[in-house]
Amino acid sequence: MGVWVRFSAADFAFAFLGILFEGVPFLLAGAVISAIFDRFIVNRYQGVGCGVGLGWIPLVAGVGFLLPLCECATVPIVRRMVSRGMPIGHGIAFLLAVPSVNPLVGLSTWAAFRFQGGELMVVMRLVFGWLVATIAGLAAANLPKEWVVRSGGVATRFSWGSAGGSAGRRPAGEGGMSGEELGKEGWRAVMNSAASDFLDMLFYFCLGAAIAAFVGTAFSVDTMLVMAEEPWLGIFGMMGMAGLLSVCSSSDAFVAAGMVAVPSFAKLAFLVYGPIFDVKLFFLYLSFLGWRYVVGLGVGSAVLIGLMCWKIGGWFLP
């Protein structure tokens, strides 16, 4: 048996900087977009995201098919939207769906698997991602508040709606700017707000990136692929690899497609689980979600994806 762990400072630094340079621009873009959305849209239309029932959660998850945003950009947007009144169930559905089913993900998956049944892999990845986001959103909407929202986090500033979708209450003392005030002061407030969100989440992102870089360089990929010999072990082994490697959802299909010895249904598990839960996302989620809910999300989504890929994906994919 070969060496399981072999640490190289140079490889670690290269991998860490690669994750950092790949993810930080999207994290910054997400912070800016969320600040613009908060200042110029949510403040002017106080009913946005509020007062919608649980039946709207599948539609909120479906918005992900239209927005080409990765997971690093989505977290700050959802953080802001939830703090401004979006019900948490809708926020979780949006948070998980956007990086899982967006057009860029579909295009990159087709390009990576175009010689391996690309069309079917694209359809199953997008449908499974939408289903997981919808189910997670419905579950979050019915969980106790203390299980979902981190104590002291930004998301504690909204009124917890009932299962019927009662309207969230906006934070007191935060008035919106009128159309005439959308000038220099408005954009200065946007930049201040974006900088605050970005710096707040950068710590979590760097911590997750460091762990992902260590795992990706110190542990042999061949060692993890030993688990691919059995369907169940292959599925959960690939999901574990997706969680540890923390590859961006816009490029993870090329990583999966290159593992030619792995069954396609296990590759599907890798593709569906990665945008929903990985090491860097674990720490980003902790910026506004409770640790018990984050752990439950990781375990619950793994079980759900594993069942879908084994029972359904195994029927259609080799």
Residue spans of the domains in the chain: they are: 9-316
Beta carbons within 8 Å of 307's beta carbon, 6+ residues apart: none
Q: Could you list the pLDDT tens digit for every one of the 318 residues in the chain?
A: 455 567 788 888 887 887 777 767 766 776 777 677 666 665 554 444 444 678 889 999 998 888 777 777 788 888 878 877 788 899 999 999 998 998 888 888 888 888 877 789 999 999 999 999 999 999 999 987 778 878 765 543 333 333 333 333 344 344 444 555 556 777 787 788 788 778 876 776 787 678 767 766 776 655 555 655 677 888 888 898 888 877 777 777 877 777 666 788 888 999 999 999 988 899 889 988 999 999 999 999 999 999 999 888 767 776
Q: Which two tokens stand for residue 287?
A: 């910026």
User: In this structure, is the dihedral angle defined by the CA atoms of residues 287, 293, 296 and 297, taken in order, positive or negative?
Assistant: negative
- Report the C-alpha gap between 211 and 222 in whole angstroms: 19
Q: pTM of this prediction? A: 0.72
Q: What angle do CA 274, 309, 97 make, to 5 degrees?
A: 45
Q: Residue 101: helix, strand or coil by DSSP?
A: helix
